[in-house]
Amino acid sequence: MVAVTGNGTVEASLAAFDAWREASRMRRRGLIEAWLWQLGAAREDLARLLTQETGKPITLARGEVGRAEATLRATAEALGTFGEEAVPYDLMAGAEGCRAVLRRFPVGPVLAITPFNFPVNLAVHKLGPALAAGCSVIWKPCPQAPGTSARLWETFEAARRQVEAPEGLLQLADPDPAAAEALARDLRIAAVSFTGSERVGRHLEQVLAGKRLLLELGGNGAVVVDEGVDAAAVARAVAPAAVAGAGQSCSKAQRIYVHQALWDSFAAAFVAAVKALPVGDPMDPATVVGPLIDEATARRMDAGLDRAVAAGAEVLLRGSRQGALLPPAILAGLPEDDPFQCEEAFSPITVLTPVASFEEGLDRAATTRYGLRASAYSRDQRHLRLAETKLRAGGVLLNLPPTFRLDAAPFGGVRASGNGFEGPRWAMEGFTEGRLIVEGPAL
Q: Residues 6 or more apart from 286 whose CB is under 8 A from it?
A: 59, 278
Among residues 135, 181, 250, 344, the one annotated as catalytic is 250
- Cα(56)–Cα(282) distance, integer angstroms: 6
Decide: 374 and 397 in contact? Cβ < 8 Å. Answer: yes
**For the chain, how far is it from start to end, CA to CA, in angstroms?**
60
User: Is 216 marked active-site?
Assistant: yes
Among residues 216, 295, 336, 439, the one annotated as catalytic is 216
Decide: 326 and 96 in contact? Cβ < 8 Å. Answer: no
CA angle 155, 157, 160 (to 5 degrees): 115
Q: Residues 6 or more apart from 75 whose CB is under 8 A from it?
A: 32, 128, 129, 132, 424, 428
- Cα(303)–Cα(314) distance, integer angstroms: 16
What are the backbone dihedrals phi and psi of residue 104, each rounded to the nearest 5 degrees, phi first? -115, 135
CA angle 329, 252, 428 (to 5 degrees): 160
What are the backbone dihedrals phi and psi of residue 392, each rounded to the nearest 5 degrees, phi first? -85, 90
Of 284, 288, 293, the closest CA to residue 275 belongs to: 288
**Could you list the active site residues?**
216, 250
